[in-house]
Structure 1
Amino acid sequence: MLSSLQPQAPDKILMLMEEFKADSRQGKIDLGVGVYKDPQGVTPVMRAVKAAEKRIWEEQTTKAYTGLAGTPEYRAAMAGLVLGDAPKDRLASVASVGGTGAIRQALELARLANPDLTVYVSDPTWPNHLSIMKFMGLPFVEYRYFDNETRGVDFEAMKDDIAKAGKGDIVLLHGCCHNPTGANLTLDQWREVIAILEKSGAVPLVDLAYQGFGDGIEADAEATRLVAKGLPEVLIAASCSKNFGIYRERTGILIALADGEQARDLAQGSMAYLNRQNFSFPPDHGARIVTTILEDQALKSDWQAEVEEIRTTLLALREQLASELRDLSGSDRFDFIARHRGMFSRLGATPEQVAAMREDAAIYMVGDSRLNIAGLNRETVPVLARAIVEAGL
């Protein structure tokens, strides 16, 4: 039986990681994998996470299963983090296996509710969005989003495309820190998107994977909160991998906002059912870390401070890179890097230019020229800037 399996196409980012490991050159730079690294190239365990884990180790008395939806405390803490004081009387939620698991469960839930749906997804988007939909056999349409000339959002084209979504279709939106481009909508543009979806009856699925890495923990949630308040039905997939630094704990949540209590209860039951079918009980260790931090004011304050340190480090690297490129190129055409937010920017380089930077300067980035700003430090920014100019961008 197993010999009849067909080879699967390897993940391009994982392939890039292996190529980077195999490169013996000194001074090689990894800008591919989407993981935060400090200036020493380490993905650290956050101070509040260490303190929370110690407390859990000392106080936890059982490793028995939690509920199918995860613990109520975790779900309430995450609802507060994502939605603030938004009304929660129409909210259903389940803990998930990371943000990726929340995306998958959201699409499964949407298909249960409307087997004939189409998913509208930005061009470009996180590649795993498309991979999951293809594997599920879900029809999808890519809406225009990124302008390769300005390296900003092509908002008029985006509006034209998402207006074609019908009632019960899904429009997948990045809540902040768009991956892979780093180009975000303004709040006024979000209001226009909400008006389009309100008119069409399409349901937004907000992927919120980088809350805190753009303009701050509260500011990065503003768009999601606008959507939650402005539309009767909303799906939100949130991840704790980046902003709590607990990548390997696979900690996420799926939130559904329904139009009325009956629909909310149906959504809650259906999401618990989907958890049971896919993995039964969700993992708890990461969720318990997050709950411990968010329920303790001292730990929460320390966590917020460390997230702010990460955010300002990313912004400083963006400003430095834009400045270096301004000096080397004699133009302001790379200033978009300082305007982008989050871990990523898309340079607009050709695959050939990306390959040239890898071969000539040992700089590794994804073929579509997405670069992870967090893979840089003050010493490597000038190296990247020279490589970008020498590649002819």
Structure 2
Amino acid sequence: MKPNDLPSTPWVLARRAARMNPSVIREILKVTERPGITSFAGGLPSPTTFPVAEFAAASAQVLHDDGAAALQYAASEGFGPLRERIAAMLPWPVDPAQVLVTTGSQQGLDLVAKVLLDPGSRVLVETPTYLGALQAFAPMEPEVVPVANDEHGVLASDLEAKASGARFLYLLPNFQNPTGRTMSAARRDELSQAAQRAGVPIVEDNPYGDLWFDQPPPAPLTARNPQGCIYLGSFSKVLAPGLRLGFLVAPPALYPKLLQAKQAADLHSPSFNQRMAHAVLQGDFLDRHVPRIRALYRSQRDAMLAALQREMAGLGVEWNKPDGGMFLWARLPRGLSALDLLPKAVDRGVAFVPGAAFYAGDAPDADALRTLRLSFVTATVPQIDAGIVALAAVIREARRP
């Protein structure tokens, strides 16, 4: 019998598989691989910030000193000395036993979803919110409810109005993806108190908090109520995303179930990578390294702001000024759609992410369709200038009757 004569296998997909969708950003990144495209689309850190020499030295050191253990299976909780280092880095008292090393902070979102969500469970999210979180939650079939925001962050009054039955509130208070906004200290106090009154735990995602430009962001919400929060962090933005190393900090009562979910997912995050990261983090490395990242990203943000001010004059485009991170949020004039504009922009050699992908719920409204996310950290200043010129030309052409 030839292979083509074999009967087809009747694969039946689980119901949750129907809730899995491709990342809009990953699909757009395929387009940006074309030669000549200036990409403001990806949330990728600048590769010029990767400490390659330090990791080369750390790799040799780890293999020389303890190569067998580094290449062996290891504890699911993570490499003990790295967990201790993470706990010491956090701005509130943390027991290393509460730290779980994850395969990127994205895995932390997946573990939280598996442990805390049932079909129909209510999850509260910012408006807009991180697309990767929506993807992580979706297979668990929750009811995702957007909570209103202003420039200072989530509105406590709307949180309380929607709190009934909510399993948790998910948010990124520092240099948020996609908007770049930062939640004020006063709003953090207000929101933390409102969440405690309403009995809503908080899942606080903080991959960008070290990337501030002028001053550090306020203390985490988790520091205000450690027993009512899960805190997610990442080494992708300050070391390198290819390590796939993140972490979560969980209350002792919740930690064992998150650990069991981790064991079922991948046994443990790469032992070798954990040991290399620990070796690189010794001493004052981050104190020397991270300020260089901040200076680079600030110069690129300033270049994009200047180009927008220059090229978008009179076009009715609005944008914000992020105090850190990697993203800037813009809004087109009424009547235009970022989704419709994207293919025309790509034809002119520039790409961005339409903002509609970051809104939870049903079809995005007209205001959401006008929004777009611009990442300023992987393009050079000349590329930023040329890309904004091209984007302005596309908008100008779209506004013509």
Question: In the alignment, does 2:15 pair up with 1:15?
Answer: no
- Tell me the CA shift for residue 182 of structure 1: 0.7
- Tell me the CA shift for residue 203 of structure 1: 0.5
Cα 1:231–1:93 change in 2 (3 A) is closer
Name the SS of the counterpart of 2:381 in structure 1: coil
Equivalences for residues 209-224 of structure 1 within 5 A: 209-215=207-213, 219-220=216-217, 222-224=218-220
Equivalent residue in structure 2 for 1:140, among 141, 144, 150: 144
Cα 1:326–1:78 change in 2 (3 A) is same
Residues in 1 aligned to 2:74 and 2:244: alpha-carbon distance in whole angstroms: 16
Equivalent residue in structure 2 for 1:230, among 225, 236, 241: 225
Cα deviation code 1:204-227 (max 9, x no counterpart): 1011112322348x924x432x43
Equivalences for residues 92-103 of structure 1 within 5 A: 92-103=98-109
- Tell me the CA shift for residue 251 of structure 1: 0.8
Cα 1:96–1:190 change in 2 (3 A) is same
Cα deviation code 1:220-262 (max 9, x no counterpart): 4x432x43233532101211112111x22211112113xxxxx
Question: In the alignment, does 2:120 pair up with 1:126?
Answer: no
User: For residue 30 of structure 1, what is the amino acid of its counterpart?
Assistant: S
Name the SS of the counterpart of 2:101 in structure 1: strand
Aligned match of 2:41 = 32
Name the SS of the counterpart of 2:145 in structure 1: strand
Question: In the alignment, does 2:268 pair up with 1:281?
Answer: yes
Cα 1:44–1:74 change in 2 (3 A) is closer
Equivalent residue in structure 1 for 2:94, among 88, 99, 110: 88
Question: In the alignment, does 2:343 pair up with 1:355?
Answer: yes
Name the SS of the counterpart of 2:155 in structure 1: helix
Residues in 1 aligned to 2:316 and 2:52: alpha-carbon distance in whole angstroms: 36
User: For residue 308 of structure 1, what is the amino acid of its counterpart?
Assistant: P
Residues in 1 aligned to 2:203 and 2:158: alpha-carbon distance in whole angstroms: 16
Aligned match of 2:335 = none
Aligned match of 2:73 = 65
The CA RMSD over aligned residues, in Å, is 2.9
Residues in 1 aligned to 2:59 and 2:174: alpha-carbon distance in whole angstroms: 28
Residues in 1 aligned to 2:27 and 2:120: alpha-carbon distance in whole angstroms: 35
CA contact (8 A) 1:120 1:143 kept: yes
Aligned match of 2:362 = none
Residues in 2 aligned to 1:76 and 1:103: alpha-carbon distance in whole angstroms: 22
User: For residue 161 of structure 1, what is the amino acid of its counterpart?
Assistant: D
- TM-score by length of structure 1 reads 0.81
Name the SS of the counterpart of 2:169 in structure 1: strand
Equivalent residue in structure 1 for 2:309, among 326, 329, 337: 326
Residues in 2 aligned to 1:290 and 1:45: alpha-carbon distance in whole angstroms: 11
Moved more, 364-373 or 157-166: 157-166
Equivalent residue in structure 2 for 1:290, among 268, 274, 277: 277
Cα deviation code 1:336-377 (max 9, x no counterpart): 543353111222242223333222x21011122212111221
Aligned match of 2:54 = 48
Name the SS of the counterpart of 1:123 in structure 2: coil
Name the SS of the counterpart of 2:67 in structure 1: coil
CA contact (8 A) 1:35 1:43 kept: no
Residues in 2 aligned to 1:88 and 1:115: alpha-carbon distance in whole angstroms: 32
- TM-score by length of structure 2 reads 0.80
- Tell me the CA shift for residue 64 of structure 1: 2.2
Cα deviation code 1:296-316 (max 9, x no counterpart): 21xxx2333222111111111
Residues in 2 aligned to 1:201 and 1:4: alpha-carbon distance in whole angstroms: 39
Residues in 2 aligned to 1:107 and 1:3: alpha-carbon distance in whole angstroms: 26
Residues in 2 aligned to 1:242 and 1:211: alpha-carbon distance in whole angstroms: 9
Question: In the alignment, does 2:325 pair up with 1:342?
Answer: yes
User: For residue 229 of structure 2, what is the amino acid of its counterpart?
Assistant: V
Structure with bigger RCO (C-alpha 8 Å, 6+ apart) = 1
Equivalences for residues 70-81 of structure 1 within 5 A: 70-81=78-89
Cα 1:324–1:32 change in 2 (3 A) is closer
Which has the higher Rg, Structure 1 or Structure 2? 2
**Any stretches of 5+ residues in structure 2 without a counterpart?**
1-8, 333-337, 356-371, 397-401
Name the SS of the counterpart of 1:254 in structure 2: strand
Cα 1:329–1:251 change in 2 (3 A) is closer
Residues in 2 aligned to 1:272 and 1:288: alpha-carbon distance in whole angstroms: 20
CA contact (8 A) 1:103 1:254 kept: no
Residues in 2 aligned to 1:54 and 1:145: alpha-carbon distance in whole angstroms: 48
CA contact (8 A) 2:349 2:390 kept: no
Moved more, 366-375 or 89-98: 89-98
Question: In the alignment, does 2:389 pair up with 1:386?
Answer: yes
Moved more, 179-188 or 346-355: 346-355
- Tell me the CA shift for residue 387 of structure 1: 2.5
